[in-house]
Every structure is written in C-alpha cells, then in structure tokens.
A and B are shown apart, each in its own frame.
Chain A
Amino acid sequence: MITHEVAPEAQCIPRFPVLALLHPREKTRLFILWLGLGVAGGMGVMRLFVLPSWSVTALVLGLLLVPALQKWRSDAHRWGHTVMVLSVLLAAQAFHSLEHAVQMFQYHVLHWPPFASSGLISAANAEWVHFLWNWGVVAVVGYLAWNGMRNVWAWLLLGWALAHAAEHSYMLVRYLGLAHELQQLGFPQISAQGLPGVLGRDGWLARSTTTQGTFICRLPGLTTASRIDVHFWWNTGEIVALLLAAHTFLRSHLSQLHAHSAQAH
C-alpha cells in the first residue's frame, strides 16, 4: 500500500506522532498571521455590513485554508497521501470539537436557548452542516481504513461515526419536516433548527410511546441530557477514538516507513 517517496525526516518516529502531524511547522507564523487578520477583518466586515457572526468564522477558516493547504501538501510529501488525509481529518475534527465546546458555553454559561446555541459556524445551518459533516467523517474514516488505518480504535471510530451520522440523518429529516410545517403556517423565516434527536432529553427514545413509563426514559444522559450535551459527547467520543486510532496507526505506519527507508538505503 505504501508507494510514496518518503522524505528523510520520516525516518525519525516521534513519541506522539499525532502532535507532530498537527504541528504547522514552518507555516506557524503564517497561521498566526492569517488567524489574526481573519478575526480582525471579519469583525470589521461583520459590523460594517451587518453580517451574522458565522460569516466571521467562515472568513477566518477561508483564510486559514491557504497555509493549511500548503501544510497538508507538505504532509503528503513527507508521509504519503493517507497520512495527509488523516492530518486533514484531525485538524477538521479538532475545529469541530471546538465548535461544540462553544455551543456548551453558549448554552450552559450564557444561558442561550438551545436553538440559539449553535456555535461558531453552525448558525449558518446546524442541521445541514452536521449532517454533511458527519457523513463526510464516515467517508474519510472508511477511506483511511481502506488504506491501512485498521486497528481496534479505528473500527470503534467507524462504528461511532456511523451511529452519529445516523442520528444526524434523523435530525435532518425532522428539521426539513418542521421547516415545511413552519412554511405552511407562513413562517419560512423562523428557524426549524435545534430539535432533539434520537438520544437525549425529549429525544425519540425518551418520548416514544413504546418507552413511556419504562426505565429507558430515565437513562442518565442517554435520555436526559440536552441535545447540546449529547452532541458534545458524540464529538468528544469521536475525537478521542480518532486520536487513539491515529496514534496507533501512525506509530505502525511510520515504523514501516522507517523500515522501508532503511531497506532502500
């Protein structure tokens, strides 16, 4: 499976290869510069043109994409395409986890209602963003497994991601249904976001007629936590599994690269 030309730096196997992979290395200054410019410019543009806050996030992400693409090209050159894809997934999922941490802050600290606690970018459309995002994660994890990231953590990650994506599919269907109902009532502008999913407080499992009065309605967290908490934990589980899968994979993958490189020399 490993067919790429490998740079000499790959011969050294770091103790925590995930950290090494996520480090912007020579692009660090560029990252900081673009981040600063993006936040300052975005805030200015938002005030000037009265844009929603998620547009600032979109602008910052767009600007950061420039050094990120350069960094990932460098990853591909050093460690191959599979590791580069893993690097992209790790960075993106880290940002996504940050998004959920912000939602937790909005909900638990700022006491915003659930439908308003939609994070940094998801305010654009939390349901579509999360639906596409989670199926995207499933696809990428599937690709990584196909290309060698096969360990117990990777399979756990794949199962977890599939379940998470399924929950978001249910929520998207509900969202579209509610949006349709609101349109029928003459309120196309009112957000249909923020409905509970399968799990959590007021979710399908808690409110189903078949579970009424049973212990299932009282399962701590599973049928009692708010949607925001539930999805924070979905993503926390996902990133933990991803980190463990990536660590295990990278250690073994880089060893193989090292051996291959030594053999070639």
Chain B
Amino acid sequence: MRGIGARLRLLLRLVGLLTLCIGQSSCMTTLPKIAPVHKATRRTPTMPAAVTVQQRVLSTPTPACTGTFVAHDLDHSTVVAGETVQMFEGNGTGVAINDLDDDGDLDLVLANRHGANTIFWNEGRLQFRPDRFGRGATRAINVVDVDGDNHLDLVFTRGNSGPNYWRNTGMKQDNERWEQTILDGVAKPAYSMAWDDTDGDGDLDLVAGSYDAELLNVGGNNFLFGDGAGVYAYENRGDHWAGTRLAQKSQALALALFDVNADGHRDLLAGNDFATPDQTWARRGGAWIEAAPFSQISHSPMSYDWGDIDNNGSFELFATDMKPYTFNLQTLAQWRPMMEKMWHPTPFGDPQIMENTLQISQNDGTFRNEAYSRGIDATGWSWSGKFGDLDNDGFLDLYVVNGMIEAELFAYLPNQELVEQNQALRNDGSGRFVPVPQWKLGSERSGRGMSMADLDSDGDLDIVVNNIRGAAQLFENRLCGGTSIELDLRWPQSKNTRAIGATLILDTDAGRFSRDVRAGSGYLSGDPARVHFGIPAHATISHLDIHWPDGAVTSLDKLSPHVLITVTRT
C-alpha cells in the first residue's frame, strides 16, 4: 500500500510540475504563480483535471470610485412596428454578453423587434463599436459555442418560428465572421431557450419553450388547430438535433437549467405566463421526469436566476413577477385597473402568487418561498432579475429591470406606459436585501433583457439593459470597496468549450463563495462564460475548486485578488 501511495504522490507531483511549467510559460505578468493541486479531498468523486493557468491583472478603475453607477446610452433601441406598442410587442427583447472575437474583452449583443440587432464590439475602456446585425424580429439571445469549434456563436429566438443560428467562423472581418445556418431538427417556435450539456455527452444541448399567447395572436386558427409548440428538449447529436416534446403547450417567458434536487444534474424549469402553472422536469436516468418541487410559485415568472445568496454552498432560485415596489397611492392607482382586468378565479390549491419568489432549499429537501421575508418580493412589473456581487463584498446583490408599455392594457396612462424605476437591492450579508437608490441604478426606461459582466476589466460588474422604446443603457460600476477574481474556463478538447455547467467554489477567510458557468439567465438574456467573484477588501483567499461538467475537479492555490484567470483544461 505504501508503494502505491508513494507512486501516486510522485505522479501527482509530476502532473503538478508539468502544469506549473505550462502555466508559468504562458503567464502574461509576473504575478505570484497559481498552483493547480490535483486532489480529491474536498468533494467526493473525483478525477483530477490537468490544466494550464494564465492570469492577467485587472485594470485600476479610472476615474476613481464615486459610490454610484454611471449610466451610458448605447446606440440601440428596441423598437416595434407602428406608433404604439401592441400586445406582446411590449415584452421586448434580450441582451447577451460574451467575448465574441476572443480578444479578452466582453462584447455585447442586443436583440430587437422591428429594427436590426446590434453587436457592440468592445474596444476597451468602455468604448464600443456598434455593428448592426440581422433584421431583428428576435426575442432571446444567447452566445454559446454551439458546434464546439472554440468560437462563440449567436443564437436568437424569434417567438413565432425556430431559432436563428449564426455560426462564428472565426474570421476577423465582420462580413466574413458570421455564417447563418440552421440547427437541423430545431424547427418548432421558440421564445425562450436554455443551453447546457443536459445528457452529459460533452456537447451542448438546447431546451426551447414557446409563448403560445403570441403564437395564437399571430397565427390565429392556424396555430389553434395546428400541432402547436410547447417545450422541447433538443439533444445535440453532432450533425442534427433530436427533439423530445416535454409540454404540448407553454407560455414560457423563462426557462432555467437549475439543479433542483442537488443530485449534480441540472433540472429544467419552465416559467409560464398567465394562469398556466410553471413546470419542472427532473433529469433522472437520462430522461426528463416531471416533478413539482415548489409549494409556492410566481404567477407569471418573467425570468429565473439562481445564486448562493447566503454563501452556504447551495444555490437559491429567484423568479420575477409583477408587484408594485412602492405602496404610494399614485402607483397603486396605476396598477389597480390592470390588476382588476387580469384577475381570474384560481382553482383550489393553486400555488401561484403574483409576486417574485425566492426558493430556499430546506433540510428535508423541500423548498420554501422566502422572497417576502428577505425583501425581494416586489420589484414592479419585473422582467430580468439577476444576482451579482455589485459591491464586491462577497455577497450577491440583486438588480431587477421593470416597466411595461402596451396600448390597450395601459390606455389610461400617458404614452400607454407604466413607468417604474429599476430596482437595485443590496445583500446585507445575511441573505436579506435592502433597496440602494444611492447606487443610481433606478433608470425609468422600460427595461427587458439585462445582463451583468465586467465590461471595462476593472474588477467590478457593470450592467447592460436592453430597453424598449428607449436607448439601451450600460451602467458603469463605480462603487467603492472590495476586490475580485474573475475566471474564464476553457475546455478545448470538449465540444462544451466554455465549460457550461461547471461550478466554482472560492474559499476565503471571509466565507466560501459559489458560482457556476451558464449560458443564460434572467429574461431572454445570455450570460458571459466569465465568472466573477467579489471579495471583501481585507479577505485572504485560500483556494479555488473548479468542478468541471464531467465531474473532474481542479483546485487552485496561491491566488491573488484583482486578476482575470484563464484556466484551460489540457
């Protein structure tokens, strides 16, 4: 036994030495070396994963912090056909962030309805070059490496037809970079989508959901008496996609791939608008099994997000809905006629409530909605709601964009618009949230898609919002205090080249912070593969564990703050 142990230790040293050498040779700065330690001590299975590590020091924030966000207009506005916003046009479109040209800076993609989509190429220092792209008529946007060729592709949903897939050829010229092609086998109308390696075969699979109310509105009897749409799970088979119909009908404003039962497999949630109850399917034995894990759910969830808000190692699930954030009489009067119009009798035992929900996992495996007691049940007519450590204090904060425009529903309001202020809520360190209007994120434009990322590479999260009937906005983070670590995972041997589905756990003397790599969350919006950890100013970093989607684990020690680390699996 002693002999085997000695050989194993020797092998580990050799692997460590090898990866250290590769890491050292590819370091761009003279930062302290990061030591990958291949051990299987912190979590059960696991096979060690050899990696190379590159790190880059993040830039110093300029100008200096002011304790607020600063709003910048982007040259893009989601517009609709005609003078007024009719019916579901008011639902707007999404935004996605990712490094499209692999230059280290995160680019933006904003969808549109009646105008062109826009790619904003990040040229550094928050300078962006707009590039009109496609004809619009889109809803959700995700930036993922669909074909596993190491170049990030664009996938837009369109609501009333199958998704638009723009393959990134890797060419440098804008007009040569994109090649419009099809996802063979993915033809059903899709409004929302989610990406992950759901079948564990190493490539990315797709889940898409329809919004039948809009299809009925557009297609009328053709839709009503046709085959319909619903929720489909499409398995990536390399040259084509094999779809499994999970639901015949859906009003899926939101889809999420979230590990509900903590078995290591991401389950599927479809957040349905109107009275249609949300649906959950657990991933079990390679199949999707319908489940009902929540005793209380949002009535019309527009978006899902998840994060470890109390740093206890498990993710909480957040859904946005419609409930005024202030109870002043003027606001309530604006809501009341619409609420009365929308009210309908609910069946006995209906778990739906018209407010945001926060599902907290209990010890017995059940979930309890704690949105009200944690102060995040009411954020207005809410669309995208996302967690992010905006003030770098180690705790995930929440930002929600809101507002509604619709000619018939709000005919009694000026410009047929319910004007609301976006809501920023700071996590006070206990998993409870307090409004922070002083952060100046309370834009009154009608926000729909929203995503967060460090766009100026200064170590804090900036925010991009795709507004309807108003210019999109970039909120530059100039909050003070704290530091951060950012991580890009690369897995070039896999078809899942950005390691979507990986979980990262950072241990510090101020707590253990958990994040995951995902393609999208919030309303119709895509997330960057880059993971951001906010860290309190004086905290000492112990180590980082990366749990790759195939179960392999990489542990990194000797980490410095304020760096972007690229971990490439070899």
Chain A positions near chain B (C-beta within 8 angstroms): 109, 111-113, 115-116, 174, 177-178, 180-182, 184-187, 190-192, 195-196, 201-202, 207, 212-213, 217-218, 224
CA distance A184 to B345 in the complex (A): 29
What is the CB-to-nearest-CB distance from A203 to chain B, in angstroms, rounded to a whole number?
9
What is the CB-to-nearest-CB distance from A201 to chain B, in angstroms, rounded to a whole number?
7
* B287 part of interface (Cβ distance < 8 Å): no
CA distance A217 to B425 in the complex (A): 15
**Do B412 and A212 touch across chains, with their CB atoms under 8 A apart?**
no
What is the CB-to-nearest-CB distance from B376 to chain A, in angstroms, rounded to a whole number?
11
Within 8 A of A (CB), among B343-361: 343, 345-348, 350
Take A111-B350, A212-B435 as given contacts and tell me if A185 and B333 are in contact as well, using a CB distance cutoff of 8 Å.
yes
Within 8 A of A (CB), among B390-449: 412-413, 428, 432-435
Take A212-B435, A213-B428, A218-B373 as given contacts and tell me if A111 and B345 are in contact as well, using a CB distance cutoff of 8 Å.
yes
Contacts of A116 in B (CB 8 A): 343
Take A111-B345, A207-B327 as given contacts and tell me if A185 and B337 are in contact as well, using a CB distance cutoff of 8 Å.
yes
CA distance A86 to B373 in the complex (A): 42
Can you list 15 A-B pairs with a CB-CB distance of less than 8 A? A109-B348, A111-B346, A113-B343, A177-B329, A181-B332, A185-B337, A186-B412, A191-B340, A195-B327, A195-B332, A202-B327, A207-B326, A212-B434, A213-B432, A224-B373
Contacts of A180 in B (CB 8 A): 329
Contacts of B334 in A (CB 8 A): 185
* B336 part of interface (Cβ distance < 8 Å): yes
What is the CB-to-nearest-CB distance from B387 to chain A, in angstroms, rounded to a whole number?
17
Contact of B337 among A174, A187, A218 (CB under 8 A): A187
**Do A190 and B336 touch across chains, with their CB atoms under 8 A apart?**
yes
Q: How many residues of B contact A (CB 8 A)?
A: 27
CA distance A217 to B375 in the complex (A): 8
* B173 part of interface (Cβ distance < 8 Å): no
B294-319 CB contact bits vs A (8 Å, 1 = yes)?
Answer: 00000000000000000000000000
**Do B336 and A178 touch across chains, with their CB atoms under 8 A apart?**
yes
Chain B positions near chain A (C-beta within 8 angstroms): 326-327, 329-330, 332-334, 336-337, 340, 343, 345-348, 350, 372-373, 375, 378, 412-413, 428, 432-435
CA distance A190 to B334 in the complex (A): 12
**Do A111 and B348 touch across chains, with their CB atoms under 8 A apart?**
yes
Chain B: which residue is nearest A218 at the CB level? B373
What is the CB-to-nearest-CB distance from A56 to chain B, in angstroms, rounded to a whole number?
21
Take A213-B428, A213-B432 as given contacts and tell me if A182 and B336 are in contact as well, using a CB distance cutoff of 8 Å.
yes
Chain B: which residue is nearest A208 at the CB level? B327
The majority secondary structure among interface residues of chain A is loop
Contacts of A190 in B (CB 8 A): 336-337, 340
Contacts of A109 in B (CB 8 A): 348
Interface centre among B327, B329, B343 (most CB of A within 10 A): B329
Contact of B412 among A115, A187, A202 (CB under 8 A): A187
- What 20 additional pairs, Cβ within 8 angstroms, besides A192-B336, A212-B435, A213-B375? A111-B347, A111-B350, A115-B340, A174-B329, A178-B329, A181-B329, A181-B332, A181-B333, A182-B333, A185-B333, A187-B412, A191-B340, A207-B327, A212-B375, A212-B434, A213-B432, A213-B433, A213-B434, A217-B375, A224-B372
Take A111-B345, A111-B346, A213-B434 as given contacts and tell me if A184 and B375 are in contact as well, using a CB distance cutoff of 8 Å.
no
CA distance A20 to B346 in the complex (A): 43
Take A111-B348, A217-B375 as given contacts and tell me if A182 and B327 are in contact as well, using a CB distance cutoff of 8 Å.
no
Contacts of B333 in A (CB 8 A): 178, 181-182, 184-185, 187
**Do A187 and B327 touch across chains, with their CB atoms under 8 A apart?**
no
5 residue pairs, one from A and one from B, having the closest CB atoms: A181-B333, A213-B434, A177-B329, A111-B346, A218-B373
Contacts of B326 in A (CB 8 A): 207
Contacts of A196 in B (CB 8 A): 327
Contacts of B337 in A (CB 8 A): 182, 185, 187, 190
CA distance A213 to B434 in the complex (A): 5
CA distance A202 to B326 in the complex (A): 9
Chain B: which residue is nearest A109 at the CB level? B348
What is the CB-to-nearest-CB distance from B247 to chain A, in angstroms, rounded to a whole number?
24
Interface centre among A111, A195, A196, A224 (most CB of B within 10 A): A111
CA distance A182 to B413 in the complex (A): 11
CA distance A185 to B340 in the complex (A): 15
Contacts of B348 in A (CB 8 A): 109, 111
CA distance A192 to B335 in the complex (A): 11
What is the CB-to-nearest-CB distance from A172 to chain B, in angstroms, rounded to a whole number?
13
Chain B: which residue is nearest A176 at the CB level? B329
What is the CB-to-nearest-CB distance from A146 to chain B, in angstroms, rounded to a whole number?
38
CA distance A115 to B343 in the complex (A): 11
CA distance A218 to B431 in the complex (A): 13
Contacts of B432 in A (CB 8 A): 213
CA distance A111 to B344 in the complex (A): 10
Chain A: which residue is nearest B340 at the CB level? A190
Contacts of B375 in A (CB 8 A): 212-213, 217
CA distance A190 to B345 in the complex (A): 18
CA distance A113 to B334 in the complex (A): 18
CA distance A112 to B350 in the complex (A): 11
What is the CB-to-nearest-CB distance from A78 to chain B, in angstroms, rounded to a whole number?
48
